[in-house]
Amino acid sequence: MHFKFIDSNTKLGNNNQRNLKRKLQFPQIYQISLLLMVGLAICSIIISPVSAGTKYQTGSPNLSVSISGSNEFTAGNTETVALKVQNTGFNTMKMVQSGIVDRDDIPSTAKMVTVSLDAGDAPVVIKSDPQMIGDVAASGSIPVSFTVLVKDDAKAGTYELPATLSYTYLAEADQQGTDSISYRYNKKDIYLNIPFTVKPSITLDITGVQTESLNAGGSGYVTLNLKNSGSDSGFNAIAKLIRKDNSPVVPVDSTIYIGKLDPETELTAKFKVSISKDAEEQSYPLSVRVDYKNSDGENLSTQVKDFGVQVGSKVSFSVVSDPATINVGQKKVIEVRYKNDGSATAYSAEARISAVDPFTSNDDLAYLGDLKPGESGVAKFEVSAASDATVKTYGLDSEVRYRDALDNSQISDTVKVPIIVESAQGMGPLPGVIVVLLILGGGYYLYSKRRSGNPV
């Protein structure tokens, strides 16, 4: 057996060496870490932009305005003119430096831009007020639109609409110290002209209006004299009559084919209309327009033209004769006079009476003929009063059926016919006298027979 002896001093010496080595390594690690932290701090100070700001030395807005889309419009129409406001300004020098405070605005931005559009010498009416469109940055654009009425008599051609652009911009920004800036803004107005083209078109004029048989509750005709006062011809033209809002005059035949309509050409268009029975005797509105194709094949419409037509009162009748009288249990022919109180002629008028208890009638229809306004006619009816009829005044319903000027059948409102029922005694002393005469006559006859010796 072999034994290996280790000296304790040797072992202690090894431990001391390791501890010494550790003591020597710790200061080195600490120094390296401290150097790294200091280096990072220096780097962050060097590359950090926190204290750096931006300053624009020069630059200003440059605004322009143009029509977006087509600039051709039609006379007589209300059009929407779409514009585009563009800023082509730019900044020529930019400075980034520590200690500069960033500006709130850029010199090339047009601020609080207002756009105004005027008619100038163009045959238009500008319906829109000046419009605020806000800020327009450099290389940016903002749309804006105006409502424009092109006048009916606008001649074809190219015109100019004056436009005004009003705005402010940053003229100068002076930094005071390290935390404040003094701004100075300028105001500027730019005056530009926008080309505006009126296309050749039809201009519709109404040169005359004639009416026929326009009465409440009936039908009639409206004839229009139309003229093309424009500079273009219309092809496949169609005239259209249009009801105006809730007017009681309603087109029945509302479309008339015209064909070709050349400049300065006049024509007539006849439309059939119906009138509400509730219409009053006054003038009511209607409208007309012409749809057509222009020389380029575009489908166009003229401006709607309004006009008025006079409507007469409804044909009505009244009974102007005295009340008829009839006795209880009597059959009698009564006469009733009807008067035309309306403003139109009633053709082939017939009166009908409605017999109700205590009356009966086997002949309740009577012919009156043609009755002009204010004229009257007499109707005869055979009427029987029941034997148990109450003595008083009755009102029987009647109506008048007639034909209007367009040969349409019409029926009047109900007209009351007064009839007075009287008792049999109401006939006076005539029946009693007849009875006495019969008795006397009979007595005389018997007396004559006896005197002659003839048997009775």
Report, at the CATH architecture level, how domain 53-199 is classified: Sandwich (2.60)
Vertex 72 angle, CA 69 and 76, to 5°: 130
Give the C-alpha distances (Å, rounded to integers) separating 45 from 36, 51, 102, 177: 14, 10, 20, 22
Q: How many Å apart are CA 83 and CA 131, to the nearest integer?
A: 12
CATH homologous superfamily for the domain 204-311: Immunoglobulins (2.60.40.10)
What pLDDT score was predicted for residue 19?
53
Q: Which residue has the higher pLDDT, 392 or 451?
A: 392
Amino acid at 181: I
Q: How many Å apart are CA 28 and CA 296, to the nearest integer?
A: 94
On average, the pLDDT of the chain sits at 83
Burial of 377 (0-12, 13-18, 19+ CB in 10 A): buried
* pTM, two decimal places: 0.60
Reported confidence tier of residue 446, pLDDT bands at 50, 70, 90: low
Tens digit of pLDDT for each residue in 263-309? 999 999 999 999 998 899 999 999 999 999 988 888 988 889 999 99
Give the C-alpha distances (Å, rounded to integers) separating 284 from 228, 247, 311: 25, 6, 7
Q: Which residue has the higher pLDDT, 45 or 228?
A: 228
Report, at the CATH architecture level, how domain 317-422 is classified: Sandwich (2.60)
Q: How many Å apart are CA 33 and CA 21, to the nearest integer?
A: 19
Return the structure tokens found at 181. 């800036």
What pLDDT score was predicted for residue 221?
95
Q: Is the pLDDT of residue 363 over 60?
A: yes
